[in-house]
Amino acid sequence: MIEDELDPGFADLFDPQDRAPCELYLISPLDVGGDFADRLAAALDAGPVAAFQLRLKGHDDHAIARAAEPLMKICAEREVAFIVNDSVSLAKRLGADGVHLGQGDGDPREARAVLGPNAQIGVTCHDSRHLAMEAGEAGADYIAFGAFFPTSTKETSHRPEPSILSWWSRLFEMPCVAIGGITPANAKVLVDAGADFVAVCNAVWGHEQGPAAAITEFQGVLGR
Ligand SMILES: Cc1ncc(COP(=O)(O)OP(=O)(O)O)c(N)n1
Ligand SMILES: Cc1nc(C(=O)O)sc1CCOP(=O)(O)O
Ligand SMILES: [Mg+2]
């Protein structure tokens, strides 16, 4: 398999330690009702966050669009990229900054044709170097590997090693995102391996002292 043929030793073009500091990429909970808008604002005001992904499941586009409106405003006011999960057409309708595509969510080339050159298009690549290179060739702006740790947010069936981040970041400039069960206590190994972003849901929204406290804790471990 091509993944095995391209193992360490093939090339060592970039040092992961020379990359820009790792940044936070927040994933929404499945329920963004109630006081979620205030919680999002508190999280974004607690420290730098690069992106927020609206990840709602089982709702029609109209309902998601209604939920998105105040959250997009909060992100725009703070210059945080607003990424829509799964749906290119919804990202287009909302004027979002980008879309995140799983392996079954559509082709990045088609997403680019619809969303234009400035859209941020991310692609899930599980634990696969092959999928990551395919996504790069298809014009993705970032690729995501995961799930690095057990997570209760989603059923997962892939468990990459942190070394996949080192492999990617030595060979390619395109950013890589690490996702899955990431907390302030376990993130450092992914940062040191070369993750450009850590994508986090439960460790932020489920933090017992609230999302702002979680953001502050993450800031302490994101430096290289
Ligand atoms: C940043 C990021 N990485 C991976 C995923 C997972 O996407 P997908 O495989 O399409 O699964 P769902 O999130 O749609 O359940 C993601 N959303 N974001
Ligand atoms: C949405 C998602 N995708 C994953 C993948 O492996 O592709 S893991 C995951 C859940 C991320 O949430 P938490 O930070 O709570 O584990
Ligand atoms: Mg998806």
- Could you tell me the distance, in angstroms and rounded to a whole number, from the CA of residue 100 to the centre of ligand 1? 7
In a domain, 133, yes or no: yes
**Mean of per-residue pLDDT scores for the chain:** 94
The answer to whether position 6 is within a domain reads no
- Structural domain includes residue 50: yes
CATH number of the domain residue 143 falls in: 3.20.20.70
Report the sign of the C-alpha dihedral through residues 52, 139, 116, 19, in that order: positive
> What token pair was written down for 222?
């994101």
Q: Is 196 annotated as a binding residue?
A: no
Residue-number span of the structural domain to which 44 is assigned: 12-219
CA distance 158 to 9: 24
Distance CA 91, CA 111 (A): 10
Is 3 among the domain residues? no
Please report where in the chains the tokens 């391209």 appear, as a residue: 6
Structure tokens at 142: 């970032």
* Bridge-based pairing state of the strands 176-179 and 81-85: unpaired
Give the residue ranges of DSSP H helices in 16-159: 36-46, 61-77, 88-94, 108-115, 129-137
Local confidence pLDDT in tens for the 224 residues of the chain: 444 444 545 455 677 778 899 999 999 999 999 999 999 999 999 999 999 999 999 999 999 999 999 999 999 999 999 999 999 999 999 999 999 999 999 999 999 999 999 999 999 999 999 999 999 999 999 999 999 999 999 999 999 999 999 999 999 999 999 999 999 999 999 999 999 999 999 999 999 999 999 999 999 999 87
Q: Is 224 inside any structural domain?
A: no
Angle at 53 between CA 163 and CA 220, to 5 degrees: 55
Question: Number of structural domains, the chain?
Answer: 1
Which residues contact ligand 1 via a Cβ below 6 A?
Answer: 25, 53, 55, 85-86, 100, 102, 105, 122, 124, 144, 146, 154, 177, 179, 199
Contacts 24+ apart (CB under 8 A), 178-182: 178/144, 178/145, 178/146, 178/148, 179/27, 179/144, 179/145, 179/146, 179/147, 179/148, 180/146, 180/147, 180/148, 180/149, 180/151, 180/156, 181/147, 181/148, 181/149, 181/150, 181/151, 182/148, 182/149
Q: pLDDT tens across 146-205, in order?
A: 999 999 999 999 999 999 999 999 999 999 999 999 999 999 999 999 999 999 999 999
Which residue in the block uniquely carries the two structure tokens 């690095």?
A: 148
Atom of ligand 2 nearest to the CA of 156: 6
Q: Are 101 and 121 in contact (CB under 8 A)?
A: yes
Task: Write the residue with the smallest CA distance to atom 12 of ligand 2.
Answer: 201
Indicate whether residue 181 lines ligand 2 (CB < 6 A): yes
CB 135 within 8 A of CB 149: no
Q: What percent of the chain has pLDDT over 70?
A: 94
Query: In this structure, is residue 165 part of a structural domain?
Result: yes
What value of ipTM does the predicted structure carry?
0.99
pTM: 0.95
Between β-strands 98-101 and 81-85, what pairing exists: parallel, antiparallel or unpaired?
Answer: parallel
